[in-house]
Structure 1
Amino acid sequence: MNTENRADNGSNKVKLEISSTVLASLLNSGLLKVAECKCLDANTKRVLWQSLLTTSLSAEQKSCM
């Protein structure tokens, strides 16, 4: 079974709820890319943007040390 082809199929999507802490961890680790996400409501978009900002600031601070 080729999972790459299945992942590209629009009918093979799931809706999932995770904590903002887990979201930040996945973004920080590189296991989840923002381009792979779609916000379904305004609160989700706000939390995702906040996680991105926090991740970016954290990465920038590490690079300045």
Structure 2
Amino acid sequence: MPFAQIYMIEGRTEEQKRAVIEKVTAALVEAVGAPKETVRVWIQDVPNTNWGIAGVTAKDLGR
């Protein structure tokens, strides 16, 4: 059972998350031949204050 864990800065719409789940699932089905029904995708929303880029928070970078 393939399990994909995706971390993203919070703020994506429900529609965008659906698209990520759909496309990641399709990629795993294609890449490893896993049955679609066995693929699991978990999206973890991370506050922009908890995401660092080059020593600065994503919030401070305007992301």
When normalised by structure 2's length, the TM-score is 0.36
**Structure whose residues are more often helix by fraction:** 1
When normalised by structure 1's length, the TM-score is 0.35
**Structure whose residues are more often strand by fraction:** 2
